Amino acid sequence: MLLSRFPRVSLAHLPTPLEHLPRLSKHLNGPEIYVKRDDCTGLGTGGNKTRKLEFLIADAQKNNADVIITQGAVQSNHARQTAAAAAKLGFQCELVFEKRVTDASKAYMESGNVFLDQLFGANIREVAKGSDMNDEMEKVASEIRANGQVPYIIPGGGSNPIGALGYVDCVLELIAQANERNLVIDSIVHATGSAGTQAGIVVGAKAMNSNIPVLGIGVNAPKKLQEEKVYKLSCETSEYMGLSGLVKRDDIVANCDYVGDGYGVPTKGMNDAILLLARLEGLLFDPVYSGKGLAGMIDLIGRGYFKNQRNIVFIHTGGATGLFAYHDLLSTK
Ligand SMILES: *Cc1c(COP(=O)(O)O)cnc(C)c1O
């Protein structure tokens, strides 16, 4: 497997640190917890989409595009990192937002990620909850073409085989770090949404024959749907890399018991997890993804899910910029 075969631009600060969390580990009285700091990728306050964008933006350049189009929720971390990447490499950026969160506060609609999108100069359109987002992006692409420009559509979350290469790369990086310090990783845990992160991680972990189980904590869809989505993209990604047949259905495990009332709706477990990490380790996690991912990992440790495992790596996928959009919904007590 040679990732350098794929066009790539440099956007992220790599390698991201792998940090031990001694105070959290002691508090939970379970396995040792490490975080892979992909919240520190560096582009526009960082996060997991930056790794995907290194490959996606390179593909946009290869296609001679001059306008990047993508979509997400109003507080999309993916949209914010895409807006920053577009600015850095001289693309116009068009963002289509689904008003996925109903009864949203003023802070949700104006602060956090969406404020940064505006700073990065992206053009923003909002469409109703439940809109066909691929359709909506196609409409924008037609306008761009009619204007004599070349559009490049990045799917929601940057999740296609090209974007997932970013997380194949992340696993190579993580395994090198583990080997360097003689760390045996017994599990990788992270928040899973549009599936590109988990698909890339699973493909990389399998391609390296690392034998590390990967657990995605869902933030949106029910388990079966989430696992099917990740499985499909894992197969497409391994095929794209010339490694078809690499991933088996059993390699894909998602736990979707921590979604609560829905995407972007706070849960008590998430709130508690955010406070715990802030106060024990001085780390910031987000309400929509990494906070729910952590809540899942913490609860599962308590239930003995990782028993006999010594070391767990939680991939911190970022998102803390979204805290400012949620400050009125989160308790600091
Ligand atoms: C997008 C995102 C995820 C989920 O990654 P997917 O590749 O969409 O599954 C997790 N955490 C944060 C902070 C994100 O922005």
pLDDT digits (tens, 9 = 90+) for 227-244: 999 999 999 999 999 999
Tokens encoding 303: 């239930």
pLDDT at position 65 over 90: yes
pLDDT one-digit tens code per residue, 23-64: 999 999 999 999 999 999 999 999 999 999 999 999 999 999
If you measure from the C-alpha of residue 145 to the centroid of ligand 1, how many angstroms do you get, rounded to a whole number?
Answer: 30
- Which residue among 56, 316, 317, 321 is best mutated to probe the pocket of ligand 1, counting the most ligand atoms within 8 A of its Cβ? 317
Which residue among 56, 77, 114, 255 is best mutated to probe the pocket of ligand 1, counting the most ligand atoms within 8 A of its Cβ?
77
Distance (Å) from CA 296 to ligand 1 centroid = 15
Separation of CA 225 and ligand 1 centre (Å): 16
- C-alpha 138/C-alpha 144 separation (Å) is 10
Q: Kindly report, residue by residue over 313-327, the tens digit of the pLDDT.
A: 999 999 999 999 999
Beta-sheet strands, E only, within 6-133: 18-20, 32-37, 67-73, 92-98, 123-127
Residue 128 is predicted with a pLDDT of: 95
The Cα 3–Cα 1 span in angstroms is 6
Per-residue pLDDT at 100: 83
Is residue 150 over pLDDT 90? yes
Question: Coil, helix or strand for 316?
Answer: strand
Which tens digits make up the pLDDT trace of 324-333? Answer: 999 999 999 9
Cis peptide before 287 (omega within 30 of 0): no
Q: Which atom of ligand 1 is nearest to the CA of 216?
A: 9
User: Residue 76 CA: which ligand 1 atom is closest?
Assistant: 15
Residue 203 has pLDDT above 90, yes or no: yes
Instruction: Note whether 34 and 21 are within 8 A (CB).
Output: yes
Note the pLDDT of residue 114.
98
Whose CA is closest to 270, among 248, 239, 293, 242?
293
Q: Cβ(83)–Cβ(95) under 8 Å?
A: yes
Angle subtended at Cα 67 by Cα 86 and Cα 47, rounded to the nearest 5 degrees: 30
pLDDT at 103: 84
Phi/psi at 280 (5° precision): -90, -30
The identity of residue 190, as a single letter, is H
Q: What is the average pLDDT value for the chain, to the nearest integer? A: 97
- pLDDT per position as a tens digit, 138-147: 999 999 999 9
* pTM confidence score: 0.98
Q: What is the pLDDT of residue 325?
A: 97
The predicted-structure confidence for 151-183, as pLDDT tens digits, reads as follows: 999 999 999 999 999 999 999 999 999 999 999
Say what the pLDDT of residue 1 is: 81
Which pair of tokens denotes residue 103? 């009864």
210 is catalytic: no
Q: Where are the alpha helices (H) located in 63-154, listed in sequence order?
A: 77-89, 106-110, 112-119, 133-146
User: Average pLDDT for residues 256-277, to the nearest whole number?
Assistant: 97
Ligand 1 atom at shortest distance from the alpha carbon of 52: 7
Angle at 123 between CA 327 and CA 155, to 5 degrees: 85
pLDDT, one tens digit per residue, over 88-137 is 999 999 999 999 887 889 999 999 999 999 999 999 999 999 999 999 99
